[in-house]
Structure formats: structure tokens, C-alpha cells
Amino acid sequence: MEDYYTASLLKQVAARPYYVRDERQQQQQSRPRPRPNSSAASSSPFFLKTRPDAIAAMAHPQTQFTHTEFTGDSSSMLRRRRTTVGRATAKAQLQRMKDSGQYDAFRLEKKPVYDKTRWPCPPPVYWDSDVAKWIEGACYLLSEEYDAEIDAAVRELADMIRGAQRPDGYLNTWFTMEEPEGRWSNIRDKHELVNEAALAHSNYYKNNLLIEPLEKYVKLISTVIGPGPDQKHAYPGHPETELALLRLYTATGNEDAYKLAQYFVEERGNQTGQDGLPYYEWERLQRGESPYQRPDSYSMHESSWYNQAHAPILEQQTIEGHAVRAMYLLTGVADLLCLDELGVKPYAHKSEYFEALTRLWNNMVDKKMYLTGGIGSMWQWEGFGIDYFLPQSSDEGGCYNETCASIAVIMLAERLLHLDLNSKYADIMELCLYNAVMTGLSLEGTAFTYVNQLASSESDKSRREDWFDTSCCPPNVMRLFGCLGGYLWDYGGSGRDAYVNVHLYTSAKVTFQVEEQQIILEQKSNWPWEGNTLFELQAPASTGVTIRLRIPSWARGNFTDQLTPSHKAAQVEKGYLVLPSAYTSANRAFSIQIDGFKPRFISPHPYTNQNTLTLARGPLIYCVEDVDNAWEQDHFRNVGIKSDSEVTEKEEEIDQMGERYIALRSVGWIRKIDDRTESESGIEPGISLRQTVVAEEKELTFIPYYLRANRGGRGHMRVGLLRG
């Protein structure tokens, strides 16, 4: 028998529930990790002592991730990917920021690369926020594994950012260099209000080098924008500021930041906010612009839905507009509610906003989300189409699915879990992570996709790029993986009661304290390939620990039977199997077996007019690529499958990368269309009943969607195949 861990992806962890590979974990933990200033602070996410009460309350993944360590060997998917991001992605992106001029922009030296032709917002306007995402991601990754080059770059950037700030607190390199008189003149389109790198920086470096300019900038913004008669009644054209401000408040207690975030949320979409007009319209009149002069992303002259500004949030019935903006906005709203929920800061309108949040979430998930977790079918505004409009590709009418948008869905879902512990949010979080987001990063970690269609076409092949003019997606992936540990679970407690809610299964260990008592929960899993997860809990005998385990919606079977040791009284509450403290006291080690890793066919809602089948296995969505099916010449447009086809599994490895995965195989069929024009065939013009399903069978090989575009090939790929 070959070595158990290397010969097969199917490890059946729970078959040996008490097996612990101590020596490898020791190796991993002993990797040197230089930490700046105080290494003792590593288990506490907050060094700024202003708000210790907020630690448990605002359990942001971006701060709590340091409590979690990915364990398992190199075949553990999340650990492996996070390592790649830390080692390869961060450096490759640093180089590209330097090549593109983004890095040096903070020196306030104009470069010829400053292309100003794109109106109203040339790409350099976004640069500050792209770089900020990289800084944020770098700080997260440094805390896992030190790298001198990355460290030096972050320090230099921090110095440059401080130097780029104007004496009054203003901080935006593009406006400062190109249009100093134009500040605050186009809040709708120009990104003056996006930045959340400082928090990550302060957490890692234990200093105020970025917090200080940020607070100075917040002070300035609070002067310019607000409800006062001489203030602008504005809100960000590109939301994200809201959540950054609330993180700042959580970390430092900065009341200006809280008030500003609350104002942004509540003022947004006010149709009479400034001199009886919607703010963006008032602002446009100040600029003397025609209402018909509009960015390319505004399809019609009244398209304030693009920025989610068509109505107050409480009145919005459907999720609309630019997908990334919508998700960041709702994440900010959720943060406001979390601060109340967790007792940090009461919020009077919590229940109405929660209702709006769930209404918009449900509209998105039920009617506007692809089965990969991608959102945004419309290229023009990189956002939502009408209900059920979910074509697979640009040659079918759309499919955008920006990587950033699904990252933001993950952020929002995590917040919603604090407000309403329901596996439906965690299911979507996992769906996005393993499919719509992971597909955005190459295996080497150095090439990216911005758009993640479900099918390629001649004009949009399944290909990766090194970098983009507007390069939010690459550093956003880096940022997400940097703090990924924070998304696995949430936990806390008081007195002698502690809890851990487990959202994602992998191999990882979390260490936290409740009333000075240290609790450690470790999970070992071969997820997403297998459904067994082994847990080991360490806690003082005096502390009762309730553990809740997510049962994915696609899981099958009776879950209480699949717990080892069994616990007949265990209940599933809103999708979480609840293990009471009596059980966890009696069973420090236990395992759960989630069934659902047999390949299955799924299908979009019938109203999408997508009469297709897609293979899924566990949380993974599969696709076909020409690399495995070299006979294909037309992007699998005429390839079908039947839901009763037999599907077999095969373990495969991508040689160069050592990446291992389970491929699926089945037999498909080829659609032959009598495609002659009416003049050739005598059939009715544009009309045919001659769609013939020919018995030509083809062996089909499927790979996980996240692995697409990693092995060369001609860029032909498809997720949904014709339903036979």
C-alpha cells in the first residue's frame, strides 16, 4: 500500500479519527516567523487598547485570522493555496505595481503612464485603492510567513503614503497630482473614499504609521461631508469606505468614523438630499454637465442604480447595479448591525436594515447568482441584470462575475452569519470561495482573471492575465487568502460557556480565550475532496464548549447518524448540527461525515432559459476544458450530457505544480444542428425543428472550475452542458 497521504486524495480522515501527524505539524509551526516589535501580541488581534470590548464583538476575519493556523500537509487545499499566495502572488504583484507606476504614484511624481483619456475616471484614480489592497494582503501574509522584500515594500509604501498626505489631511494621489482643484467635485465617479489598508498594517506592525494619516483623512472627510447645512450630503460613489470606517471605529473607537459610516448608509439614495435633489444630480449640476454626459457604465442618462443610489437602502427591493459596489455597501451595512448585535454600539434602525439586507441577499442568491457563486451578468456595468438573466457567456448575452464581486459576497456572508447563524450564508461563502474566487488565481499564483464566465467564446477565451489597468482583483485575492483563517469559524463566549461555529471544513486549528481560559479546536479534513472531518478540542474542564457544525445544503443523509461518537439527541438548527457542551466534554475528539461527495448534476433555475446540466461534487463545480477534450473546436457549445449518465472519478495531478485533484468522466453527446440557411435547405428562415440529437457519444473529462486555464490549451471551457 502506498503512503496514505500522498497516494490518494481520498484520505478518509475520519476513518482514523485519532491520527495526528505531529512531526509534520511541528515542522510547519517551527518555520521562523520574525514579527515586528512584539511577537507576544500575536494572539491578540488588537494592539490599540482603546476598545478591548470590541475584540469578541467585531470578530472580523481580517483581525481574527491570526487565531487560526492552517495545518495539514501540502495537499490541504486551502493551506496550499494560501502558501502560494504568500510566496508567489505577493511578490509578483509587487513587481507589477512597480512596473505599472502604481507603486511610485505615492511619491507624487507624475509619470507618462498617467493616461487621462478615459472619462470620467482614468485608471490611475483607482490606483490608491489597488495598492491599499496589496498592503492589506501583505500585512496578513507577513504574519504567517515573513519576507524581507515584502516587509520593506510595505514600510516604504507607508512612508510614501504619509508623505503624500496634504497638510489638511487630504489623501489621494491622483487628485493631488492631476486635479488638486477638483477634490470632492465628483464623488459619484471618482474614488476618493476607498481605503482600509491601515487597519491591517497597524495590526501587523503595531504602530500608527498608517492609522494616523487615516484618522487625519477621516477628520477632513467628516468636515466636508455630513448632515450640516454647509456640508456636502454625499456618499461614496464606490462603497467600501463604510466598512473601512467601521473597522477603524472598532479598532480605535474613532467616533467620527462611526458617524460618517452611519451617515453614508442612511443618506445613500436620498432623492432630495442636497437642495431638493439627489446628491449626485446636484453635484453634476455644479460641474455643469449634461445629464446625458455619463460614464460608459451608465447605460441610460438616469442610471443612479449603478451606484445603488436610486433609492434609500431601506426601500431597495432588488439588488441592482455594479456588483462589487453593492456587496461592499451591504457589508458596511451589516457591520453597522453587527456592532449593535454584539453590544458594542446600539443602532436604532437595526431591524429595518436587517430586513433590507436579507431581502437584497435573497434576491441575489435566488435570482441573480450563477451556480459558481459568480454575480453580475452585465458587462456594461459589471453588475446585476434582471431576475434570472444568467447567460453563460458573452456570446449568449452576458456573464461578468468579477472576482472581486464574489470576494465581497464572502465578506458579506461572513457578517450575516453574525447576525443570523444560518448555513445558507455559509453555503454561499463556500460556493464563492471554491469556485468563483479560486478560479480567479492561477496555480502558480501569478496570473489572474477579472471576469469569470461560465463558458468561453471566440471573443472571450478562458485565459489569464498578469495584471490589469484597474487591478483590484489580484490584490483582493491576496487580501482574502491572507486573512482566510478568519472565515473558517466564529467563536467566543463568556463565563464558563464557550462556543465555536464551524463554517468551513479544512485542516486548521483555532486558539482563543474566554475569560482567560484558552480553548483550542483543531479540525482535520480532506475537504473539499471528502466529507469526513475530525475534531479535537482542548479546553479547561470548567469551560463548556458548544460546537456547531455546518451541514451544507447539498449534503444528504441523517447527520446525527454520521457523528462519531454518535449523539442521537443532536439537533440541526438553521443548518448547523449543534453539539452541546455535554457532548464535547465527553468527546474531546469526534468526527462528522458529510455525505454529498458523489458527483451530482445541478441545473440553473428554469426561468434562466438555461437548459443545462453541470457536474458538482461536494462544494466544487466542474467544467470541461479542451485540454482534456482535445476534439472540441467550438467552446463545447453543442456538447450535452444526460442526468442519468454514469460518472466516474479519477485522481489526477498537474505535473509541473504537483496539484492533485479528482477529475470526473462521463459520456456526453454532440448536438448536430441543421444549420444551413433557408436558401440552402428550404427550411423556414431562422426557424428549425431539426435540432437533432445524434447518437454520437463522446467521452468527457471534467475538472474543477477553479482549475481551469492552468494547463495551456486553446481556452475552450464550459460549465453548463446541454441537458439531454
Note the residues at the interface with a second copy (CB under 8 A).
119-120, 289-296, 299-301, 362, 365-367, 369-371, 380, 385-389, 391, 395-397, 422, 424, 427-428, 431, 553-554, 601-607, 609-611, 637, 643, 671, 673, 677-679, 682-689, 691
CA distances from 42 to 33, 52, 54, 356 (A): 11, 15, 17, 37
Q: Measured between alpha carbons, how far is 290 from 284 in angstroms, rounded to an integer? A: 8
Q: In the complex, what is the shortest distance from the CB of residue 409 to a second copy, in angstroms, rounded to a whole number?
A: 11
CA separation for the pair 360, 531 (Å, rounded) = 31
Closer CB to a second copy, residue 428 or residue 664?
428
Q: Is the CB of 166 or the CB of 424 nearer to a second copy?
A: 424
- Nearer to a second copy by C-beta: 367 or 708? 367
**What minimum distance in Å lies between the beta carbon of 278 and a second copy?**
17
Which of residues 18 and 292 has its CB atom nearest to a second copy in the complex? 292
For residue 578, the surrounding DSSP H or E stretch is strand 576-579
641 forms bridges with which residues in the sheet?
723
Q: How many CA atoms lie within 13 A of 57 on its CB side?
A: 21
Nearer to a second copy, 132 or 433 (CB): 433
What radius of gyration, in Å, describes the C-alpha atoms of the chain?
26
Q: How far is the CB of 684 from a second copy (least distance, A)?
A: 5
Beta strands 717-718 and 620-625, pairing class: antiparallel
Buried b / exposed e across 213-223, counting CB within 10 Å, b at 16+? bbbbbbebbbe
Least distance (Å) between residue 645 CB and a second copy: 14
Quick one: 147 or 387, whose CB is closer to a second copy?
387
Q: What is the DSSP letter of 272?
A: T
Residue whose CB is less far from a second copy, 301 or 650: 301
CB of 112 to a second copy, least distance (A): 23
Q: C-beta of 697: minimal distance to a second copy in Å?
A: 19
* Pick 186 or 254: Cβ nearer a second copy: 186
Long-range contacts of 160-164 (CB under 8 A, 24+ apart): 160/106, 160/107, 161/106, 161/210, 161/213, 162/209, 162/210, 162/212, 162/213, 163/106, 163/107, 163/108, 164/106, 164/107, 164/108
CB closer to a second copy out of 370 and 448: 370
Classify strands 639-641 and 721-723 as parallel, antiparallel or unpaired: parallel
Spatial separation of the C-alpha atoms in residues 597 and 549, rounded to whole Å: 17
Sign of the CA dihedral running 109, 115, 116, 119: negative
Q: Cell numbers 464606490 correspond to what residue?
A: 238
* Closest to 93 measured CA to CA, from 37, 144, 153: 153
Residue 443's alpha-carbon distances to 89, 220, 337, in angstroms, are 10, 43, 37
Q: At closest approach, how far in Å is the CB of 97 from a second copy?
A: 29
Give the nearer residue to a second copy in terms of CB position, either 70 or 298. 298
Q: Which is nearer to a second copy, 33 or 672 (CB)?
A: 672
SS3 379: coil
CB of 287 to a second copy, least distance (A): 11
- Looking at beta carbons only, is 392 or 587 nearer to a second copy? 392
In which order are the strands placed within the sheet that holds 563-564? Answer: 68-70, 508-514, 517-525, 532-538, 589-593, 563-564
Helix, strand, or coil (residue 664): strand
Contact predicate 36/205, CB 8 Å: yes
Cβ–Cβ under 8 Å, residues 291 and 304: no
Amino acid identity of 157? Answer: L
Q: Which three cell numbers stand for residue 586?
A: 465527553
Residue number with CB closer to a second copy (370 or 499): 370
Distance CA 546, CA 238 (A): 40
CB of 602 to a second copy, least distance (A): 5
CB of 584 to a second copy, least distance (A): 26
**Closest distance of CB 603 from a second copy, Å:** 5
Concatenate the DSSP letters of all residues of 189-204 into one string. TS--S---HHHHHHHH
Instruction: Pick between residue 26 and residue 677 the one whose CB is nearest to a second copy.
Output: 677
Secondary structure of residue 68 in the 3-state scheme: strand
Instruction: Give least dist CB 614 to a second copy, A.
Output: 8
Q: Which residue in this structure is represented by grid cell 461563502?
A: 429
Name the minimum Å distance from CB 550 to a second copy.
13
Closer of 273 and 391 to a second copy (Cβ): 391
**Least gap, CB of 86 to a second copy (angstroms):** 31
Q: Give least dist CB 422 to a second copy, A.
A: 7
